[in-house]
Structure formats: C-alpha cells, structure tokens
Amino acid sequence: MGGDHGPAIVIPGAALALERRPDVRFVMFGDETLVLPLLDAHPKLKAVTTFHHTEVSVKMDDKPSQALRYGRYKSSMWRAIDATKTGEADVTISAGNTGALMAMSKFCLKSMPQVDRPAIACLWPTARGESVVLDVGATIGADARHLVDLAVMGAAMARIVFDLDKPSVGLLNVGVEEIKGVEAVKEAGRILRESNLPHLTYHGFVEGDDLGKGTVDVVVTEGFTGNIALKTAEGTARQIAEYLRAAMTRSFMAKIGYLFARGAFSALREKMDPRKANGGVFLGLEGIVIKSHGGTDAIGFASATELGYEMARENLMAKVREMVAATARPETAPQPAAAVE
C-alpha cells in the first residue's frame, strides 16, 4: 500500500520479479478492494501469493510517532514487518513512508545485540560497477562506535552482493589526510586502522568524488551526509539526462548524430537508470527489511524485490551477526582527567 502509487506499482513489480526469480513466493498485506483486482490481472503472481486484508495503511506524510500510534499491530506495514519476525516471510519489502518503516521495524524486530542503531544501505553505481553506501538516511549523526558498526555491517552486505572475502571499506571525509575531518570520523578511522578486523580491508578516508569512481567496495558515512549525497547523485543523473536530451534534439544535424550513436546513448541510459539500483537495506535489525523508493515504477520495485531475495537467500542476517560478534567494541580515545583530593 506504500509509495506514491501503491498497489498499482507494487503488483506489476512483484509480477516482474517473479518472472526473473520463479522460486519466490509472496505474502501481501493491503486493502482487498484495491489489491485483488490487480492480482486477478496477474494469475501467475496470484498463484504464489498469500493475501491478507488490512483496513489501515500508513500514509506517506505520516510522522513516525503518529504511524506507530495508530498503525501498530493492524496496518499493512506493521503486519508485513511482523510476518518477517514470525517467520512467515524471509524479508519485508515496502515503498512506504521511510520514517514510519524504520520506526516500526525497530519496534517490531529490535536491533541486533551490539548494534546501537540500524542503518540504511544502498547499492551505488560507480565507474567500476557498484559500491555499498551507508548510512543514507536512517539516523542523523554518528559517534566513532556507530561508524565502526556501519563499516562492519556494510562489509557483510558487500560480501554477499559482490562475492568478496574482504571488501575494502572507506570512511567518507573532507580529505584523505588523517588530520582532516570531525573527531568522530578521525577516531573511527583510528579504530579501523588499528583493529585489523576480519572480513574487511580498511582503505582509509575517501572523498565525495570517490563515490562515483568506485574507489572502495563500501563507503561509510552518517545518515545526514549520506542522504544528501544520495539525493544529489539522483538529481545529477536526471540533470545529465535532460542535458543530453536537449542536445540531441537541438538541431537537424544533432538528430542525425543521435541516430548513429543511438546504441551508445541507450547503454548510457541503462547505466544511469536509478531503478536498477533501487532498494535500501535496513541493516542492524533482527530481520531483513528493504525500502523501495516511493516514487519508483514497476521496474524499480522489482529491483528492490530481487535485492531482498538475494539478501534472504545468501543469509545476510548470519553474516552480519558473525562479523559483529567478531568485532570488539571500539575503545574511544581517553578523555583528560583531573585528580581531586
């Protein structure tokens, strides 16, 4: 029921995901008057779907506290999350209100031991392929311990997605020199550098342009900066697409040139398509939750569904638990103390 278009996008997206992943099964929650007619139009999807009617759905502009107050236990969002908690489903996927989804997920699933705050991780297209970037908006601000947790959880996801034994991890900073940046980032860098953690290779600090270069497999930052970076990248991609479209239709010769270069432009459009990298993974919870972009179409929702499929099939939870358990809690630098008699 979530997203800008609700089941009109979710149902066709699920049908497309089923074509690509024939062994997937769905448990859907929503208003039967809106969902069932759409399911009837996709008989193959309906055959592998268990549907539960709910009369309450969380609105896109609801405050998280408001959604928790009236939507707990009875909304489609809550019941979908609870299905993962009870084992009826392996992963929850929603295009709904991000704040409400995170609040309900934390309340229902709880955080993993040793993880203070969950994060949202996304796949970021790069010149080398893709990187995992987190946090892109779950929480604002981070101390050194939280940044180290993000590094560990992001590396666990990268091991699955990229099939790497020791993914490279970088901390997003205003420079690569160790003396630059806020204290939390510098302290997290010191811990990662000295700890020699298993299953990841600490690269050091990375800058904003390293996101597009693909310098590292995992880029770590706090949610405020990460969300701004994500929205900036999405906006830049749309801006470039508009520039190209305008340039190719500016004159008769430009149109002729486009005909000769159509294949190259199609490949570029495919590479820059944000729908192919749609889906943010909520890391650090006792269950897998995938957040689809609310404004995406069926192709984007299918991508988020397939991401959830991969995270469940490759047992993301076990890998995160393994890496978190193997990580000693970071010790922060000692604070000045005064002895008083």
* Gap between the Cα atoms of 123 and 111, Å rounded: 22
pTM of the predicted protein model? 0.84
Asked if residue 167 is part of any domain, the answer here is yes
pLDDT at residue number 287: 93
- Residue 326 is classified by DSSP as T
- Dihedral sign from CA coordinates of 68, 63, 5, 235: negative
From residue 201, alpha-carbon distances to 127, 241, 274 in Å are 20, 35, 28
CATH number at residue 249: 3.40.718.10
- Residue 284 is classified by DSSP as S
Interval 276-329: pLDDT, tens: 778 899 998 999 999 998 888 999 999 999 999 998 988 888 888 887 777 655
Chain center to CA of 267: 24
Asked if residue 295 is part of any domain, the answer here is no
Q: Which helix (H) or strand (E) holds 124?
A: strand 119-126
Domain total in the chain = 1
Asked if residue 97 is part of any domain, the answer here is no
pLDDT at residue number 330: 47
Tell me the residue range of the domain where 197 lies. Answer: 116-283
Joined tokens for residue 161:
């997605």
CB 335 within 8 A of CB 47: no
Task: Count the residues in the chain.
Answer: 341
Interval 108-126: pLDDT, tens: 999 888 788 889 998 888 8
Asked if residue 57 is part of any domain, the answer here is no
Q: Which of 58-67, 169-178, 189-198, 257-266 has the lowest mean pLDDT?
A: 257-266
pLDDT at residue number 338: 52
Strands 218-220 and 92-94: unpaired
pLDDT at residue number 334: 46
- Residue 276 is classified by DSSP as G
Interval 203-252: pLDDT, tens: 999 999 999 899 999 999 998 999 898 888 878 877 877 887 787 778 87
Asked if residue 307 is part of any domain, the answer here is no
Asked if residue 66 is part of any domain, the answer here is no
Asked if residue 247 is part of any domain, the answer here is yes
Asked if residue 333 is part of any domain, the answer here is no
Strands 218-220 and 168-172: parallel
pLDDT at residue number 272: 63
